Amino acid sequence: MDPLGDTLRRLREAFHAGRTRPAEFRAAQLQGLGRFLQENKQLLHDALAQDLHKSAFESEVSEVAISQGEVTLALRNLRAWMKDERVPKNLATQLDSAFIRKEPFGLVLIIAPWNYPLNLTLVPLVGALAAGNCVVLKPSEISKNVEKILAEVLPQYVDQSSPNLGRIINQKQFQRLRALLGCGRVAIGGQSDESDRYIAPTVLVDVQEMEPVMQEEIFGPILPIVNVQSLDEAIEFINRREKPLALYAFSNSSQVVKRVLTQTSSGGFCGNDGFMHMTLASLPFGGVGASGMGRYHGKFSFDTFSHHRACLLRSPGMEKLNALRYPPQSPRRLRMLLVAMEAQGCSCTLL
């Protein structure tokens, strides 16, 4: 497989899926670029000294500070730059709307020279990211030390479909998950790399209840979305299916979260978060019905794997009391025996 060709394909797919268009995504990339400059300043100074014998003073003024300034400026003005720009109209178009919309090109290539290897790489990169493009960056191969940092360190700070995301366990599971991407319509993500068993975090919309992605445990970075008209319909949808291992309810209304908790059943439940209930050893983790049997974490694990043997050891010499159980039977003996068998202690429930 051609690594460059595959990279270009994934970048184009990411752009066409709309990942780079939201202001939030663009800002996150610029913020990552700013962190790259701040956290690796000494590394960059050293590389510039090795490549061009630049002093720390010159490197800071002509390379790092200018690049950081571009990031700061873009972050401060990003939303204003993205807004439609209204333009003057003539008499014939007074009732019309005339404006300039700033749209990203898509996939752009930045080729940097060696004389200012950081500045002339990152300053155009800031503009390309702010404009919502996917970028292929080609640092100068002559300034080798700066090139090495840009190639090996910079990708840790900006989105690249990420090396920190998990990979699919084997080819069989990869093929199963990639087949699920055909359900509904991909709204976000959808990129995949078979050679790396990588599938980008993906959101599917327009999914039908009977499609394969809704019929099995996914065990992959795919989130299908089913639209409902009301909370009642959402709860009914949950309850007509097998009980889930975990159920997460997100809402600004605590009443909505509590209602979902009250009117559904699942192995575990989390309001306005996912997974975090698993971090508490004081909460049992396990399924119910089809989602599993038993529970574990902390003492719950011990209890699950212990046979709870019922034992009673009575003192000798109590046979006179036992006589109540033996014939001849009478209503009085029955009443006394029933009183003796009543549970002792408080049975109050704490509310």
pLDDT at res. 3: 61
Q: Which residue has the tokens 């006179």?
A: 320
pLDDT at res. 163: 55
pLDDT at res. 340: 79
Q: Which residues of the chain have pLDDT under 50?
A: 1, 349-351
Q: How far apart are CA 97 and CA 89, in angstroms?
A: 8
What backbone phi and psi angles, to 5 degrees, belong to 20?
-90, -5
The pTM assigned to this predicted structure is: 0.55
Q: How far apart are CA 78 and CA 130, in angstroms?
A: 7
pLDDT at res. 160: 64
pLDDT at res. 351: 41
CA atoms 309, 310, 315, 320: torsion sign? negative
Domains located in the chain, CATH noted: 3-169+300-307 (3.40.605.10), 170-239 (3.40.309.10), 243-290 (no CATH)
pLDDT at res. 1: 47
Q: What is the pLDDT of residues 36-89, one digit of tens each?
A: 999 999 999 999 999 999 999 999 998 999 999 999 999 999 999 998 888 888
Q: Which residue has the tokens 């002093």?
A: 55
